[in-house]
Amino acid sequence: MEVVDVDLSDRTYPIYIGSGLLDKPELLQKHVKGKNVLVVTNTTVAPLYLEKVVGLLKANGSKINVESVILPDGEKYKDMGTLMKVFDKAVETRMDRRCTFVALGGGVIGDMCGFAAAAFLRGVNFIQIPTTLMAQVDSSVGGKTGVNHPLGKNLIGAFYQPQCVVIDTDTLSTLPERELCSGIAEVVKYGLIRDAKFFEWQEENMDKLLARDPDALAYAIKRSCENKAEVVSLDEKEAGLRATLNLGHTFGHAIETGIGYGGWLHGEAVAAGTVMAADLSFRLGWIDASLQSRILNLLKRAKVPVAPPSTMTIEKFQNIMAVDKKVVDGDLRLILLKGELGNCVFTSAYDTKALEETLHSFCPS
């Protein structure tokens, strides 16, 4: 087992990474503060792992009372109406201020459970058990929680850190290939924005990741978590540095919102958004053609989209991006690549004509 710490002073917490962690009851139990636990999961994950996690919490004669709520699966259910089901169950089962919420699932479940924990009784403990590669390398770490609004993704939420993150890499054995590829798109991001050696490792090991080689996946998860933990430790609430983790996300979130939540997986939209961000960076003269080509080739090998769907018009992109969380005083700030591999900037100081050219090159008129 590997342990990566997210250093937040008195709120520092561990990320446990390894095989067979859902067979270690003491790992989970030591992070449960009170006697009541609410496990939040979905209709896909519940048949696979809910019974096992409930058994872990109750193992070795523990006196933990475990309740569960099973939500519908999918990004289209990441909304206030579905969130209320978590609050309903918490109130009905008399969860108290010492209770712990456990997020068992992918990014949607982690985001919603975390937001519910932040709001219920003005804040209760929660634990992340991510079961998708996307959640393991990105969304379960760092305390971003929330739900979508019909006009924009993740516009309602809170920064709220978990007690711990338990990543059992064995859960990836049940992950559909499309979900695996979606998660790899987020792995690629870390190499582009801050870890050139990691990007080069991915170029050498992409086939192993797609083949679910255990050692390759474990390394990719660990290195991604190390990168994210370091960034979150330096900038928990996204004053600047943490925003760089959103490379490709402004375009990607626009795609998800524009085609309807759940039409594309998050990583698929981010992959296309990353190619668009690289295109804009090249048009600005900030990266060279060879780096742009390497990005495109690696994402193609990862079997994710490298362009938005044909239904995304220029007008759709512009309207949705105008309400992006990174807009300040009317200026859209973007994460763009600049310089050698592993370097980026978070800025509104770019030529908007270049942005228009990028949109024109990817979208129907």
Residues 325, 224 share a domain? yes
Note down the domain range covering 308. 201-362
pTM: 0.94
Residues 162, 241 share a domain? no
> Residue 275: how many CB atoms within 10 A of its CB?
24
pLDDT in tens, 304-353: 999 999 999 999 999 999 988 888 888 999 999 999 999 999 999 999 99
332 within 8 A of 326, measured Cβ to Cβ: yes
Whether 178 maps to a domain, the answer reads: no
Q: What is the pLDDT of residue 239?
A: 84
Residues 142, 38 share a domain? yes
Residues 348, 244 share a domain? yes
Residues 229, 114 share a domain? no
CATH number, domain of 10, equals 3.40.50.1970
Whether 193 maps to a domain, the answer reads: no
Query: If DSSP codes are grouped into helix, strand and coil, which group holds residue 365?
Result: coil
Active site residues: 122, 144, 186, 228, 238, 242, 246, 249, 253, 266
Whether 148 maps to a domain, the answer reads: yes
Give strand pairing partners of 346.
Answer: 335
Residues 218, 132 share a domain? no
Please give the average per-residue pLDDT across 107-114, as a whole number: 97
Residues 159, 250 share a domain? no
Residues 211, 358 share a domain? yes
Residues 69, 14 share a domain? yes
The number of folded domains in the chain is 2
223 within 8 A of 195, measured Cβ to Cβ: yes
Whether 180 maps to a domain, the answer reads: no
Domain end position, chosen among 127, 156, 172:
172
Whether 276 maps to a domain, the answer reads: yes
Whether 195 maps to a domain, the answer reads: no
Helices and strands of the chain, counted as H and E runs = 13, 13
Residues 344, 251 share a domain? yes
169 within 8 A of 18, measured Cβ to Cβ: yes
CA neighbor of 137 nearest in space, from 176, 165, 170, 178: 165
Q: pLDDT category, 17, cuts 50, 70, 90?
A: very high
Instruction: Give the CA angle between residues 76, 79, 83 to the nearest 5°.
Output: 125
pLDDT in tens, 141-197: 999 999 999 989 999 999 999 999 999 999 999 999 999 999 999 999 999 999 999
CATH number, domain of 349, equals 1.20.1090.10
Query: If DSSP codes are grouped into helix, strand and coil, which group holds residue 159?
Result: strand
Whether 45 maps to a domain, the answer reads: yes
Residues 94, 10 share a domain? yes
Residues 23, 132 share a domain? yes
